[in-house]
Amino acid sequence: MSSSSPILEHLKQALEYILTPSAPVITIGLLIVFIVPVLVHFFITRQTPYTSLPYILLAGPAGGGKTSLLTLLERGDAAAETHTSQTPHAVELTASQDAGASTFREAAREDAPGSHKKFHLVDTPGHGKLRGAALDQLGGDGKTGKSQFGDSAMLRGVIYVLDAATLEDTLADAATYLYQVLLALQKRAGSGRTSRAPNAVHVLVAANKLDLFTALPASLVRSNLEAELGRIRQSRSKGLLDSGVGTDDIGSEEQDSWLGEYGSEKFTFAQMREFDIEVDVIGGSVSEANVDKWWDWIVGRI
């Protein structure tokens, strides 16, 4: 007891000093009140640089034109050379919601009239072995998925860029990747049902390179993809049946990895509406800077 009483005495004095109004105490108090929130703000924003902004993900097979599109929207010209991407890359863009701005060039200007909204556009590699980067961003359930570009709850849309000029030869690959993207989004929407539903994520299939004469129009891109996605779905469910999963489990497991309306014969993009996923197929050309419709879609999602 005798050893603790001087300490208690000190404590009492210190408390008395703090609780008695005086200039130094008030100054220090005010400093804490004003500086701590600022420090906390910088601490949080430094740790998660992308959390605060909504983002749009670019996905699609290699050579489709994702990086070219990103460069065009960022700099306003398509001349820049691109090479195969190896890592995800994000840029910050501004969308102005104003009827007067009819092209993406006007709308993307910082000083354009109307309201401005900043967002990130995230480019991902399309090479078969690097697609995990894009699929990770679709973050499992849309809540806990802290992806490299921040909270996956901030994901607003996916632009699936493909080369419409070579689609006839690359259809199987393009559809397989699209299948993975749509299934990831479907699972994300499904997992939100029990608690807070994640925001709806829409998909734009951007049929690029319409400047080339071999390019398929958007309507054909849509029907070819739908047919191929239906075939993939069919062969996947067969594979599951053959894999020897017990007949009891097969019901739920098959239902979980079935894209679109369960048991339907033909796949259509409209079936994705059940999961709050709207799929649009719109043609355009990055090299001719014919991307205004894609830009409008982006502005509508932000």
* Residues in contact with ligand GTP by the rule CB under 6 A: 60, 62-68, 82, 84-85, 125-127, 161, 208-209, 211-212, 285-287
Q: Please, what is the minimum distance in Å from the beta carbon of residue 220 to ligand GTP?
A: 17
The one-letter amino acid at 99: A
DSSP codes, 213-257: TTPPPHHHHHHHHHHHHHHHHHHHHHHHHHTT--HHHHHHHHHHT
286 binds, among ligand GTP, Mg ion, none (CB under 5 to 8 A by kind): ligand GTP
SS (H, E, C) 255-280: HHCCCCCCCCCCCCHHHHHHHCCCEE
113 or 128, CB closer to Mg ion? 128
Instruction: Give min distance, CB of 85 to Mg ion, in A.
Output: 3
Q: With CB cut-offs between 5 and 8 Å by kind, which of ligand GTP, Mg ion, none does residue 197 bind?
A: none
Q: How far is the CB of 220 from Mg ion (least distance, A)?
A: 25
Are 283 and 218 in contact by the 8 Å Cβ rule? The answer is yes
The HSE-up count of residue 247 (CA atoms within 13 Å, CB side) is: 0
Query: CA-CA distance, 103 to 144, in Å (whole number)?
Result: 36
* Residues 100-139, mask of contacts with Mg ion (x by CB under 5 A): ----------------------------------------
Site residues for Mg ion, 74-93, by CB under 5 A, read 85
Tokens representing 255 are 């239902």
Nearer to ligand GTP, 67 or 186 (CB): 67
DSSP 172-189: HHHHHHHHHHHHHHHHHH
CB of 81 to ligand GTP, least distance (A): 7
What is the rounded distance in angstroms from the CA atom of residue 232 to the CA atom of residue 230? 5
* Residue 62 interacting partner from Mg ion, ligand GTP, none (CB closer than 5 to 8 Å by kind): ligand GTP
Least spacing, CB of residue 256 vs ligand GTP, in Å = 29
Distance, in Å, from the CA atom of 167 to the CA atom of 84, rounded to the nearest integer, reads: 18
In the complex with ligand GTP, which residue's Cβ is closer, 189 or 203? 203
Tokens found for residue 188: 């994300």
Interface mask (CB under 5 A) for Mg ion, residues 58-77, using x and -? Answer: --------xx----------
**68: partner contacted, choices Mg ion, ligand GTP, none (Cβ within 5-8 A by kind):** ligand GTP
Radius of gyration, alpha carbons of the chain: 26
CB of 248 to ligand GTP, least distance (A): 42
For residues 253 and 262, is the Cβ–Cβ distance under 8 A?
A: no
**Binds 142, which of ligand GTP, Mg ion, none (CB < 5 to 8 A, cut-off by type)?**
none
Residue sitting closest to ligand GTP (CB): 126
224 binds, among ligand GTP, Mg ion, none (CB under 5 to 8 A by kind): none
* C-beta neighbour count of 293 within 10 angstroms: 16
Q: Per rule CB under 5 A, is residue 271 in the interface with Mg ion? A: no
| Residues of this chain that bind Mg ion (CB under 5 A) | 66-67, 85
